[in-house]
């Protein structure tokens, strides 16, 4: 059972919802419908139930009444003749045995059969003692099902076998064999072929096979059902119209044989009947628990007393109203644990395990709210044979991993273990994306892995974006696809940074950084081929911009860095450093993936050691989520391994491909 953690909660409401879901799921697993608490009056409920039963009875009657009428009309003569022939002997046999049983009962009642009296006395005691034994009703039910089914099948087959013993039918078949052998063989062969075709069509109809055909799903059942009905109807008409078989069908004993076959089939079907099982105790407890949790029950009792004479009587009316009190939190916890314990014991006996998954605890907000949530629901943990799977945010898991250092908290005493879902490796990312699409080759997977840092949800998102770009551009060139995807992600990320920066306080002296940031966002939001060189140069300058006490040495050919402005707030400086480091990471991905010869350059980078491993790109992306100041040195080592410059390119960057600008109608010169 999976439950979602609400964004805002009270422990009582959460446990109330969990109890309701547990009871409803258990009742559905056992084949019982949970009670419905619809806002309808009793009259409307009754009318709706009557209407449903009437529709059900009407549909059943529309088939049952005509079928019964046809059967009665077709078999009435044969059944009447059979009754007239055997009614007297059967009644005599029954009367004789009833008289014998009556004499035995009278003898026991009068005390003339002592042994029989003792025997039936012990039998009565044993029958009463067997009321709690499960084997006796089970054995009787098994004997009923097996015995009555075999009797019915024996009656049906015996009725059909009388065809072979009928002297008139055998004489007619021998006459046809002597006088018209070729016509008889042709009829038998054609009838056998029709029966084989009819049987194959029925098998195809009942196969349940469905297969897609374009936008439709074709079902064999819909195709072969009318064909099987048509072939069966044609077979029956052929047997009736054929002269050789018409005489055999006209045998006067055939209606009686058919009545025996139908009676045998009906008797064998009666073996499938079994009484309605008693509702299990746990289902009853769940139903009662749901009524208590979801309804307010009231009961009134009245009492009127008076004298014998109606006119002079003085009466009093006493009314008592009883209303159930909703359980408080400790009582609800105790009832939930007890009910869950019984359900788990039953499931373990069936070879199953009870698992309750509480998902998205991190939706509560910060780690303090999540820890408070675990502290409140700690009371329902620790039920024997019940396992809880709770998904928590990383900071809550980190609090547990501390193992009580420097102090113990709720996670250290509530959870048995924490399994940290690590980011996937490049090999695992290949396996994951290979199941999603065969169009994503090795370089595409490496790009998605680097952008996501191995985080599964981001990996799947980037894989979907790569396929969408392929479908949109009808191109599989990595240089083009990677450029499009990286710049698109950079534009969305910078739009978020610009929103955060707009909440800071800016002055005339500090607005230069914000203006250059706006220029870069404008380039990225609506890229144009004729300004791609300016966009790359602006991106490069911003990527190598460093603010604060950590200043990169300025070489002679480097453009001037923006000096550290003491008027910038610490929050604004932090945001600018984060945006600059992310731009530095994106620029590194552009230099690696949007340049021809990726396979050769990957091999050369691998020769430089671990820093040239493509896995290091995902490590840098993960480090961005921790701190831009630790991520930038890691990106430096990656660029050094891939032989990329550690500063702005002198003279600016040249776009990798020169094309005509479709918007401004001017060529872009390399």
Which of the four pLDDT bands, split at 50, 70 and 90, describes residue 530? low
- Phi and psi dihedrals of 70, rounded to 5? -65, -40
DSSP at 366: S
82: CB partners within 8 A, 6+ apart: 256, 259
The pLDDT tens digits for 561-601 are 444 455 677 888 888 888 888 888 988 998 888 888 888 88
For residues 480 and 487, the answer to whether their CB atoms sit within 8 Å is no
The pLDDT tens digits for 435-452 are 887 778 888 889 899 998
Pair (91, 216) in one structural domain: no
Pair (596, 659) in one structural domain: yes
Pair (121, 172) in one structural domain: no
Q: Is 78 inside any structural domain?
A: yes
Separation between Cα atoms, residue 592 and residue 599, nearest integer Å: 10
pLDDT at 511: 66
pLDDT at 41: 61
Return the residue matching tokens 């009838």: 191
Nearest alpha carbon to residue 299 among 280, 333, 323, 318: 323
How many residues are there in the chain?
670
399: CB partners within 8 A, 6+ apart: 367, 371, 409, 411
Q: Is 318 inside any structural domain?
A: no
Segment (H or E) for 97: helix 42-110
Range with the poorest average pLDDT among 36-45, 226-235, 289-298: 36-45
Pair (386, 493) in one structural domain: no
pLDDT at 547: 42
Higher pLDDT, residue 437 or 433: 433
Range with the poorest average pLDDT among 50-54, 107-111, 400-404: 400-404
The pLDDT tens digits for 338-395 are 888 888 888 888 888 888 888 767 666 566 777 777 777 777 888 888 888 887 766 5
Q: Is 98 inside any structural domain?
A: yes
647 by DSSP, 3-state: which?
Answer: coil
Please identify, among 250, 280, 315, the residue that sits at the C-terminal boundary of a domain: 250
Separation between Cα atoms, residue 538 and residue 557, nearest integer Å: 16
Across all residues in the chain, what is the average pLDDT?
A: 77
Pair (9, 49) in one structural domain: no
Separation between Cα atoms, residue 261 and residue 153, nearest integer Å: 9
Pair (581, 482) in one structural domain: yes
pLDDT at 551: 41
For residues 493 and 628, the answer to whether their CB atoms sit within 8 Å is no
Pair (109, 196) in one structural domain: no
Pair (614, 660) in one structural domain: yes
pLDDT at 670: 45
Pair (543, 644) in one structural domain: yes
Range with the poorest average pLDDT among 36-40, 278-282, 358-362, 514-518: 36-40
272 by DSSP, 3-state: which?
Answer: coil
Please identify, among 359, 383, 414, the residue that sits at the C-terminal boundary of a domain: 414
Cis peptide before 406 (omega within 30 of 0): yes
Higher pLDDT, residue 225 or 526: 225
Higher pLDDT, residue 97 or 168: 97
pLDDT at 168: 77
Q: Is 423 inside any structural domain?
A: no
Q: Is 246 inside any structural domain?
A: yes
Separation between Cα atoms, residue 522 and residue 604, nearest integer Å: 36
Pair (117, 201) in one structural domain: no
Q: Is 421 inside any structural domain?
A: no
Q: Is 625 inside any structural domain?
A: yes
**Tokens describing residue 9:** 């909660």
pLDDT at 552: 42
pLDDT at 298: 62
Nearest alpha carbon to residue 484 among 584, 589, 585: 589
Q: Is 535 inside any structural domain?
A: yes
Residue 493, burial from CB neighbour count under 10 angstroms (0-12, 13-18, 19+): middle
Higher pLDDT, residue 15 or 445: 445
pTM: 0.56
Separation between Cα atoms, residue 591 and residue 579, nearest integer Å: 18
Give the percent of the chain with pLDDT over 70: 76
Pair (553, 647) in one structural domain: yes
C-beta atoms surrounding 24 within 10 Å: 17
39 by DSSP, 3-state: which?
Answer: coil
Separation between Cα atoms, residue 583 and residue 543, nearest integer Å: 5
pLDDT at 664: 53
426: CB partners within 8 A, 6+ apart: 445, 446, 449, 454, 614, 615, 618
The pLDDT tens digits for 117-137 are 888 898 888 888 776 666 666
Q: How far apart are the first and last CA of the chain?
A: 62
pLDDT at 393: 66
pLDDT at 560: 36
Which of the four pLDDT bands, split at 50, 70 and 90, describes residue 188? confident
Number of structural domains, the chain? 4
For residues 229 and 197, the answer to whether their CB atoms sit within 8 Å is no
pLDDT at 317: 54
Domain that holds residue 221: 167-250
Pair (562, 643) in one structural domain: yes
Nearest alpha carbon to residue 260 among 150, 169, 152, 170: 152
Nearest alpha carbon to residue 595 among 460, 466, 477: 477
**Tokens describing residue 584:** 């530095």
The pLDDT tens digits for 460-499 are 888 888 888 888 878 778 888 888 888 888 888 888 887 8
Q: What is the DSSP string of 552-613?
A: PPPPTTSPPPPPP-TTS-HHHHHHHHHHHHHHHHHHHHHHHHSSS-HHHHHHHHHTT-GGGS
Helix, strand, coil shares, percent, the chain, to 5: 65, 5, 30
Separation between Cα atoms, residue 576 and residue 460, nearest integer Å: 29
DSSP at 387: E
Segment (H or E) for 444: helix 442-452
Range with the poorest average pLDDT among 24-38, 52-66, 265-279, 343-357: 265-279
- State the Cα angle at 329 between 325 and 334, rounded to 5°: 95
- Phi and psi dihedrals of 651, rounded to 5? 85, 0
Average of per-residue pLDDT across 649-663: 57
For residues 568 and 614, the answer to whether their CB atoms sit within 8 Å is no
pLDDT at 499: 80
pLDDT at 555: 42
State how beta strands 660-661 and 216-219 pair: unpaired
Which of the four pLDDT bands, split at 50, 70 and 90, describes residue 329? confident
Separation between Cα atoms, residue 564 and residue 546, nearest integer Å: 8
**Tokens describing residue 216:** 């439709």
Give the percent of the chain with pLDDT over 90: 1
Number of helical H runs and strand E runs in the chain: 24, 9
Please identify, among 250, 265, 280, the residue that sits at the C-terminal boundary of a domain: 250
Range with the poorest average pLDDT among 23-27, 84-88, 446-450: 84-88
């Amino acid at each position: 059972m999976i439950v979602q953690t609400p964004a805002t909660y009270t422990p009582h409401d959460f446990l109330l919802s969990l109890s309701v879901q547990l009871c409803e799921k258990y009742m559905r697993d056992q084949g019982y419908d949970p009670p419905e608490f619809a806002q309808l009056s009793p009259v409307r409920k009754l009318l709706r139930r009557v209407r449903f039963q009437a529709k059900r009875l009407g549909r059943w009657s529309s088939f049952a009444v005509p079928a019964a009428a046809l059967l009665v009309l077709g078999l009435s003569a044969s059944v009447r003749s059979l009754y007239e022939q055997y009614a007297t002997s059967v009644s005599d046999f029954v009367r004789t045995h009833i008289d014998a049983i009556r004499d035995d009962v009278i003898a026991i009642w009068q005390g003339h059969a002592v042994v029989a009296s003792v025997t039936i006395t012990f039998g009565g005691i044993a029958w009463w003692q067997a009321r709690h034994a499960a084997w006796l009703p089970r054995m009787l039910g098994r004997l009923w099902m097996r015995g009555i089914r075999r009797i019915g099948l024996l009656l049906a087959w015996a009725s059909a076998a009388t065809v072979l013993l009928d002297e008139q039918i055998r004489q007619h078949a021998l006459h046809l064999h002597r006088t018209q052998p070729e016509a008889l063989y042709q009829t038998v062969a054609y009838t056998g072929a029709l029966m084989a075709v009819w049987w194959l069509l029925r098998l195809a109809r009942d196969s349940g096979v469905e297969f897609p055909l374009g936008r439709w799903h074709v079902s064999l059942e819909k195709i072969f059902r009318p064909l099987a009905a048509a072939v069966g109807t044609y077979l029956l008409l052929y047997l009736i119209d054929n002269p050789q078989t018409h005489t055999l069908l006209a045998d006067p004993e055939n209606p009686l044989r058919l009545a025996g076959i139908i009676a045998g089939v009906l008797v064998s079907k009666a073996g499938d009947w079994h009484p309605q099982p008693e509702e299990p105790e746990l289902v009853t407890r769940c139903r009662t628990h749901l009524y208590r949790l979801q309804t307010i029950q009231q009961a009134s009792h009245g009492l009127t007393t008076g004298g014998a004479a109606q006119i002079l009587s003085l009466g009093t009316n006493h009314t008592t109203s009883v209303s159930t009190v909703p359980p408080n939190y400790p009582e609800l916890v105790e009832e939930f644990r007890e009910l869950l314990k019984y359900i788990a014991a039953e499931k373990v006996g069936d070879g199953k395990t009870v698992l309750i998954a509480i998902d998205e605890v991190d939706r509560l907000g910060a780690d303090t709210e999540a820890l408070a949530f675990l502290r409140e629901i700690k009371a329902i943990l620790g039920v024997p044979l019940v396992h809880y799977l709770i998904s928590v945010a990383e900071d809550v898991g980190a609090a547990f991993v501390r193992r009580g250092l420097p102090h113990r908290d709720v996670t250290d005493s509530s959870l048995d273990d924490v399994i940290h879902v690590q980011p996937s490796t490049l090999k695992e990312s290949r396996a994951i994306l290979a199941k999603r699409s065969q169009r994503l080759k090795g370089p595409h997977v490496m790009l998605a892995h680097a952008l996501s840092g191995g985080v599964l949800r981001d990996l799947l998102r980037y894989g979907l974006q790569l396929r969408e770009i392929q479908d949109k551009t009808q191109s599989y060139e990595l240089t083009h696809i990677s450029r499009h995807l990286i710049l698109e992600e950079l534009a969305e990320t910078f739009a978020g940074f610009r929103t955060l920066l707009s909440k800071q306080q800016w002055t005339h002296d500090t607005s230069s950084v914000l203006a250059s940031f706006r220029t870069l966002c404008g380039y990225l939001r609506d890229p144009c081929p004729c300004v791609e060189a300016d966009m790359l140069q602006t991106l490069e300058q911003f990527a190598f911009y460093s603010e604060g006490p950590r200043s990169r040495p300025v070489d002679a050919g480097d453009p001037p860095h923006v000096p550290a402005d003491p008027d910038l707030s610490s929050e604004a400086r932090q945001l600018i450093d984060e945006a600059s480091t992310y731009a530095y990471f994106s620029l590194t991905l552009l230099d690696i993936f949007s340049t021809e010869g990726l396979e050769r350059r990957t091999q050369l980078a691998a020769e430089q050691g671990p820093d040239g491993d493509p896995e290091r790109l995902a490590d840098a992306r993960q480090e961005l989520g921790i701190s831009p100041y630790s991520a930038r040195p890691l990106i430096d080592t990656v660029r050094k391994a891939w032989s990329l410059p550690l500063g702005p390119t002198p003279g600016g960057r040249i776009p990798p491909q020169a094309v005509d600008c479709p918007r401004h109608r001017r060529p872009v010169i390399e």
